[in-house]
Amino acid sequence: MIFSPFQATGPRLQRHGAHCLALLLCGGNLVANAADILRSPDTDAALAYEFTAADEALLEEVQHGCFNYLWNAVGEPAGLARDRRTTKVASTAGVGFQLSALPVGVKHGWITRAEGEQRALSILRALLARSDNKHLGVYLHFVMPEDASQPPGDLVDQASTVDHALLLAGALPAATYFGGEVARLVDQMAADTNWRAYDVSERGLISFGWRPNDGRSMGGEGDFRPWDWHIACAEDQIVYFLAAGAPNEDYAVDAGDWYRLERVVKSHNDGPEFVVSWNSALFTYFFSHSWIDYRRFEADNPADFDLDGPRVDWVENSRRAVLTHRQRCIEQSERFKTLGPNRWGLSPCMGLNAEGRDSYLVQAVRPNQSNEDNFCGGTVAPYAAGSSIVFAPRECVAALHAMRNLRGDDGQLLAWQDPSEGGYGFVDSFNLDQQHASDDNIAIDVGPMILAIENARTGLLWKLFMQHHVARRAVEKLKWVERADAGGNVSHGEE
């Protein structure tokens, strides 16, 4: 069932591609009168999962590779991570993941605390010092990695609310960890963000962004994009969490907007019901979990804002989504050589398209809102399973072991570049039918993987993020209730 007060019309331009949106009643089994999605014993067990020594060694390797990218693939002197290793621009979303990875790098001894703090300062100073990279406090999708300036020519995209949300979310743990000037600069970024000014769509929700009429003047005339964030998934939700928690009340949005996001509940065959995203690529089930510690809270409740819809425990929802996604990949294993019980995980990545050209692949896996399957030739992105490790640790770590040791027809490792030799760990994607591995890396792919693994091991990013006053304010505004066992299994692994 679709729980939304809005009629879904017009195009939906997601962070990872353009899709045509219709109000669809299929694409998996649509569930009428959907029940609440509440925490199960299986999910509690997943949150308390103990990794073996071999698992820990592998996860350390994977994280080190991710960190190598976010530390080394940067522009000097500001040090912003490149959007892709092979591009000249930085995505502000990727920079958010980069900022959160700095405390991880210090904790693991890959850099010193002073080095991490200096990198955070150089990034934040560069971003905040300019006026040509933001509009009403919301930053451009792309900036230059050397100085956070506007990209040249037609590379100026838009002041992007979702990229800005990922930037700001990623900055909060750095603020908590380093304190001092880092915290002051992040507070300024949060205070400057005028979420309410972007809350202008016909449905009263937050626009995708704002674009200058002349393509350059961020303080001049322009228009808010006509599309809005309206689906209850981990991409859209990080926008509304931060907008509800804005420290400047005049810039905050109504917390009820969180509950007005569409809760479309479906299932695959006789599998469990869950709230689906537009295309059900896995990033739509893990992005916000990089920071928001949903473990600690009861299922949220639309009725608290006089709205209809199921109560949802978002950890439970993502676990169901991830395991359903894995099952769908297994079912396609006879069609695609790459897919199987330990080779799965479809989420936007670089890879070869149907014509054999290097492209940005955007998959779709039912059940979803779009009612589409697009397995993109069976190309697997290792970060998809890696970033889902919180929800299904046994299945995800088994996949990471298998992909780490996978060899191509030439006998060489296909999907792995040794971090001890300066490599970035997993490639962005691989495909056994094509005998191809993408010779590229992407900040918003390695970013959630290093954070998710750290949260699964120690809970560090959850702890740092939830201590920040913006997150605490959001929790209060959203009327979330802490679980009675918040001091028990949900604190497993934290230091």
What contacts 285, CB < 8 A, 6 or more positions away? 233, 234, 277, 317, 318, 321, 322, 325, 388, 391
For 128-171, the pLDDT digits (tens) are: 999 999 999 999 999 999 999 999 877 678 999 999 999 999 99
Cβ–Cβ under 8 Å, residues 179 and 91: no
DSSP helix/strand/coil, 143: strand
What contacts 321, CB < 8 A, 6 or more positions away? 274, 276, 277, 280, 282, 285
Predicted model pTM: 0.93
Give the Cβ contact number of residue 220 at 10 Å.
10
Q: What pLDDT score was predicted for residue 180?
A: 98
Longest dimension (CA), the chain: 61
Closest CA to 287 of 465, 111, 84, 449: 449
Q: What pLDDT score was predicted for residue 28?
A: 62
Q: Specify the residue for token string 């200058």.
A: 212
Q: What pLDDT score was predicted for residue 372?
A: 96
Strand partners, 12: 19
Give the Cβ contact number of residue 460 at 10 Å.
20
Q: What pLDDT score was predicted for residue 316?
A: 98
For 96-105, the pLDDT digits (tens) are: 999 999 999 9
Q: Specify the residue for token string 């820990």.
A: 56
Q: What pLDDT score was predicted for residue 18?
A: 33
Strand partners, 30: 266
The tokens describing 52, both together, are 């073996």
Spatial distance between the Cα atoms of 244 and 257, rounded to a whole number of angstroms: 8
DSSP 8-state secondary structure symbol assigned to residue 149: P
Q: What pLDDT score was predicted for residue 200?
A: 94
Q: What pLDDT score was predicted for residue 23?
A: 33
Closest CA to 460 of 410, 491, 494: 494
In order of 36, 301, 315, the CA distances from 40 in angstroms are 12, 17, 10
Q: Specify the residue for token string 């006789």.
A: 270
* Domain 2-486 class, CATH top level: mainly alpha
Give the Cβ contact number of residue 125 at 10 Å.
15
Please give the chain's pLDDT, 495 residues, in tens.
555 543 332 222 333 333 333 333 334 665 556 799 999 999 999 999 999 999 999 999 999 999 999 999 999 999 999 999 999 999 999 999 999 999 999 999 999 999 999 999 999 999 999 999 999 999 999 999 999 999 987 767 899 999 999 999 999 999 999 999 999 999 999 999 999 999 999 899 999 999 999 888 999 999 999 999 999 999 999 999 999 999 999 999 999 999 999 999 999 999 999 999 999 999 999 999 999 999 999 999 999 999 999 999 999 999 999 999 999 999 999 999 999 999 999 999 999 999 999 999 999 999 999 999 999 999 999 999 999 999 999 999 999 999 999 999 999 999 999 999 989 999 999 999 999 999 899 999 999 999 999 999 999 999 999 999 999 999 999 999 999 987 544 444 444
